[in-house]
Amino acid sequence: MSQFELPELEFAPDAIEPYIDKETMTIHHDKHHQTYITNLNAALDKHPELKDQSLTDLVSHLEHVPEDIRTAVRNNGGGHYNHSLFWKILIPGGAHEPSGSLREAIDSQLGGFEAFKEAFTAAATGQFGSGWAWLSLDTQNRLKVVNTPNQDSPLMDGETPLLGIDVWEHAYYLKYQNRRPEYIKNFFSVINWDFVSDVYEKVRNKAVQ
């Protein structure tokens, strides 16, 4: 039976400076993310029958998780899922805008890239306390911008997260202190739009098969 493990970063911790500093990346990945995994595994130890389920299945179907560990799986399974996606979204020197069919969908469904940036920034800035802002695909396969508290995810509503920004203070406080809007602005300089587009294509193609 598998235990969840910390995924390795695909870039050096200092690779996306000055936008996100090395110390924050190291603590965020090695300490915070690891804690979610440790707590998730501890919760699943109480129900070994769940250990063969994928992380996506656990987070997507919390109603099937026994009540005594449901909150722990929601918080820590959600934290593991969200952060695993977050590391893939970041890239040093990536394209600053999406292209292809994702760009076409953003233009037609969200009013264009600048309108999307404004909506995403508002969602991230407006999330009170800890949480995330997302670009996701809803159940009708349409793009939407939302925010979620704590370690919740659009996945919990049957939707597919494509792009997310962590606005917990541990994600930015060492460098930006209370300047969350500056952190959000700089996030747009390190988005791996190729990865986001690839996820979009896979989900869209699966939906039309």
Domains of the chain from N-terminus onward? 22-89 (1.10.287.990), 100-208 (3.55.40.20)
CA distances from 154 to 12, 20, 57, 93, 108 (A): 29, 25, 13, 28, 21
H or E segment to which residue 21 belongs = none
Least confident range from 10-14, 180-184, 204-208: namely: 204-208
Phi, psi of 166 (to 5 degrees): -80, 120
pLDDT at 209 over 90: no
pLDDT in tens, 156-170: 999 999 999 999 999
- What's residue 207's pLDDT? 56
pLDDT in tens, 73-89: 999 999 999 999 999 99
28 is in an annotated binding site: yes
32 is in an annotated binding site: no
Distance of alpha carbon 159 from the chain centroid: 13
pLDDT in tens, 108-135: 999 999 999 999 999 999 999 999 999 9
Average pLDDT score over residue span 84-106: 93
- What's residue 204's pLDDT? 83
Average pLDDT score over residue span 53-73: 96
29 is in an annotated binding site: no
What percentage of the chain exceeds 90 in pLDDT? 90
The one-letter amino acid code at 142 reads R
- What's residue 208's pLDDT? 52
pLDDT at 70 over 80: yes
